[in-house]
Amino acid sequence: MEWKCVCPYNPKLKLKDIYIYDTTLRDGEQTPGVCFTKEQKLEIARKLDELGIKQIEAGFPIVSDREAEIVKTIANEGLNAEILGLCRALKKDIDKAIECDVDGIITFIATSPLHLKYKFNNKSLDEILEMGVRAVEYAKEHGLFVAFSAEDATRTPIEDLIKVHKAAEEAGADRVHIADTTGCATPQSMEFICSELSKNLKKAHIGVHCHNDFGFAVINSIYGLIGGAKAVSTTVNGIGERAGNASLEELIMALTVLYDVKLNLNIEVLTELSKMIEEYSGIKLPKNKPIVGEMVFYHESGIHVDAVIDNPLTYEPFLPEVIGQKRNIVLGKHSGCRAIAYKLKEMGIKVNKEELCEIVKRVKETREKGIFIDDEVFKKIVEEVVRR
């Protein structure tokens, strides 16, 4: 059996050399109330590396001595992933990152008229551009991979974005970022921005960093790739400021299953990684969270269960085992004879046809009284019926 079931109308994107740079340890940790320990950050970094993530943004070294120590420890862990540190477009930030032995940096500065006016007290775009160029040049002089990020890029006029990013590329930037800082981009606008940049850049990759304020972070990221981006920023479980960032697991599985993109990742660790972040961040996942939610491969409806028993792909877009998830047949008011028989077989219990019908009836009645049918409740129902 194939492990995924794809809609024939979904496009097969001819996307090559696509890669993910994960920012769970930096932007994810900027979720209000989240503060990972050194040991937790190391474990997360190792698990991201096991997944096969190309680049891990380990932190913001200038924030504190403790943060710098953690970034340095991760950078010297011997992981396959390149380790990046976040820096403002300031020499002191870059120097601190260099002390941490990182492979590269993401340096950022805001470019939108709103930020120029209120964040930088009416600085001109040319002044900001000069700061960004100096930062890129300084980092490249020290042999670092350099990504230049235009903060609030999606509210920056396209001609200004092109001007700033061309200057960053000429200064040596390996990648330039479209940061949808307030999550206000649409898929169409993200595709347009990346497409226009692609026409004007010669060597630098384009990366997209999307926030989820309107629930568009994953689809905006995909449309950025369609427009010519090569790299996508993610966080595990989509954690991050406000409504969070593009969800790592949702992006990976959407690209893999729906768009048939080859990412060459070890996806069987996705659920384990998700649970790790849920525990360490203290942010509980909705049970119906796409891909990794506890109940997204649970089935109760009799019609669904009958088909899933024969072939799970009738009601699942891909098999849960490939990402470390599991399927569960849940008993309730919608259960039919086949679901009950399946559960009885799982538990090694044999009944006749009359007893089976009575068990089905009692399961429905019990659930409609507001009682959840777990294994203990089900066993009790079976015992009552069989003892009659």
N-term to C-term CA, the chain: 43
Q: Which residue is it, tokens 């307030």?
A: 182
Q: Give the model's pLDDT for residue 60.
A: 98
387 has pLDDT over 90? no
Q: What does the alpha-carbon distance between residue 388 and residue 384 come to, in Å, rounded to a whole number? A: 7
Residue 388 binned pLDDT confidence (cut-offs 50, 70, 90):
low
Q: What does the alpha-carbon distance between residue 292 and residue 270 come to, in Å, rounded to a whole number? A: 8
pTM for this prediction: 0.94
342 vs 39, higher pLDDT: 39
84 has pLDDT over 90? yes
Neighbours of 108 (CB within 10 A): 24
Strand partners, 149: 108, 177
SS3 318: strand
Rounded to 5°, the CA angle 278-209-22 comes to: 45
Which amino acid appears at position 298 of this protein?
Answer: Y
With a CB cutoff of 8 Å and minimum separation 6, the contacts of 280 are 36, 37, 40, 43, 44
Distance of CA 246 to the CA centre of its chain: 5
Neighbours of 310 (CB within 10 A): 10
Q: What does the alpha-carbon distance between residue 24 and residue 283 come to, in Å, rounded to a whole number? A: 13
Mean pLDDT of the chain: 96
At 44-81, the pLDDT tens digits run 999 999 999 999 999 999 999 999 999 999 999 999 99
Q: What does the alpha-carbon distance between residue 282 and residue 361 come to, in Å, rounded to a whole number? A: 40
Q: Give the model's pLDDT for residue 362.
A: 94
Mean pLDDT of 252-278: 97
Assess contact for 46 and 80: CB atoms under 8 A. no
Q: What does the alpha-carbon distance between residue 298 and residue 273 come to, in Å, rounded to a whole number? A: 20
Q: What does the alpha-carbon distance between residue 98 and residue 107 come to, in Å, rounded to a whole number? A: 13
Q: Give 53-121 as a DSSP string.
A: -SEEEEE-GGG-HHHHHHHHHHHTS--SSEEEEEEESSHHHHHHHHHTT-SEEEEEEE-SHHHHHHTSS
Q: What does the alpha-carbon distance between residue 363 and residue 262 come to, in Å, rounded to a whole number? A: 45
| Residue-range domains of the chain with CATH | 19-281 (3.20.20.70), 298-387 (4.10.430.20)
233 exposure class (CB count in 10 Å sphere: 0-12, 13-18, 19+): buried
Tokens of residue 374, six digits = 């777990």
Share of the chain above pLDDT 90, in %: 94
Share of the chain above pLDDT 70, in %: 99
15 has pLDDT over 90? no
Residue 11 binned pLDDT confidence (cut-offs 50, 70, 90):
confident
Assess contact for 132 and 164: CB atoms under 8 A. yes
At 314-370, the pLDDT tens digits run 999 999 999 999 999 999 999 999 999 999 998 999 999 999 999 999 999 999 999
